[in-house]
Amino acid sequence: MDISGASALVTGAASGLGAATAAALAARGAHVVGLDLPGAVERAGGAAPSGVVLVAGDVTAEADVRRAVEAASARGPLRVAVSCAGIATGARLLGREGPHDQGAFERTIAVNVLGSFQVLRLAAEAIAATEPVDADGQRGLVVQTASVAAFDGQIGQVAYSASKGAVAAMTLPAARELARHGIRVMTIAPGVVDTPMMAGLGDDVRAGLEATVPFPARLARPEEFAALVGMLVEHDYLNGETIRMDGSLRMPPR
């Protein structure tokens, strides 16, 4: 699918996976709107690459996501939406201070699952209203972000694994339903990626994480995630699947 002159929406676009993805889609000629929290947009300042406009909002708020979808659609037919916004929660079911906090679990589900759902449904509505781009009737693509924790979650990742498992589980039914509108749905499940979330870890912790990856024995780069999104844009026959991007990593229990 050629997205030159079309528009794209990327959430979590002020840093990490989202920033790399927004830049990669803009490099392909798309007009990109990046949605992120007000604080993240403020910290990014004028750092958005050419072709990317950052707007402040919360993926859990329908009005904010709809506003971002409308902003993207105003720049060209919406063809791609990528959900990169997410949070990682670490807590044991039975910790030293008692059972897992319900509020933390609910917040994780809200951002990672509801946020992805908001983008999926509202972007699909806008993409479905566009004209097909090819003889197959294709109109666009929605890419979600899960995690290897969806499949081999570690101790302390109950909330995170539940949320990312839900994102992966949405993929096939969404792809099947949106097929009649010419919209593909794919999900990427990254392993350990060198994002700002990892920046605060010590060198020993980072080295330990890198050692768990069979090959290449390093953290993945955000640009590699972005490159995979670009490949999904180009490969029109990929649909309804979750792809692990993890260097064949299988997470141990802890």
In a 3-state reduction of DSSP, which class is residue 175?
helix
Q: Which residues of 110-121 are buried (b: 16+ CB within 10 A; e: fewer)?
A: ebbbbbbbbbbe
Contact between 29 and 49 under an 8 Å Cβ cutoff? The reply is no
Tens digit of pLDDT at every position of the chain (254 positions): 999 999 999 999 999 999 999 999 999 999 999 999 999 999 988 778 888 999 999 999 999 999 999 999 999 999 999 999 999 989 999 999 999 999 999 999 999 999 999 999 999 999 999 999 999 999 999 999 999 999 999 999 999 999 999 999 999 999 999 999 999 999 999 999 988 777 666 777 778 888 899 999 999 999 999 999 999 999 999 999 999 999 999 988 88
Confirm whether 1 is domain-assigned. no
- Whether the bond between 216 and the residue before it is cis, its omega within 30 degrees of 0, is yes
Confirm whether 174 is domain-assigned. yes
Confirm whether 252 is domain-assigned. no
Confirm whether 106 is domain-assigned. yes
- Dihedral (CA of 56, 60, 62, 68) sign: positive
In a 3-state reduction of DSSP, which class is residue 72?
helix
CATH number at residue 128: 3.40.50.720
Nearest to 35 by CA among 1, 69, 7, 4: 69
Domain ranges, residue 90: 7-245
Confirm whether 86 is domain-assigned. yes
Residue 87, classified by CB atoms within 10 Å of its CB into exposed (0-12), middle (13-18) or buried (19+), is: middle
Split into its structural domains, the chain has a count of 1
Tokens representing 145 are: 């972000």
- The whole-angstrom separation of Cα 101 and Cα 121 is 29
Confirm whether 38 is domain-assigned. yes
pLDDT, mean over the chain = 94
Catalytic annotation, pick one of 1, 36, 148, 160: 160
pTM score, whole prediction: 0.94
CA atoms within 13 A on the CB side of 8: 35
Nearest to 56 by CA among 68, 48, 66: 68
- The pLDDT tens digits of the residues spanning 61-73 come to 999 999 999 999 9
The beta-carbon contacts of 48-54 under 8 Å, at least 24 apart in sequence, are 48/13, 48/22, 49/22, 49/23, 50/26, 51/26, 51/27, 52/13, 52/22, 52/23, 52/26, 54/13, 54/14
Residue 160 catalytic?
yes
Confirm whether 192 is domain-assigned. yes
Confirm whether 52 is domain-assigned. yes
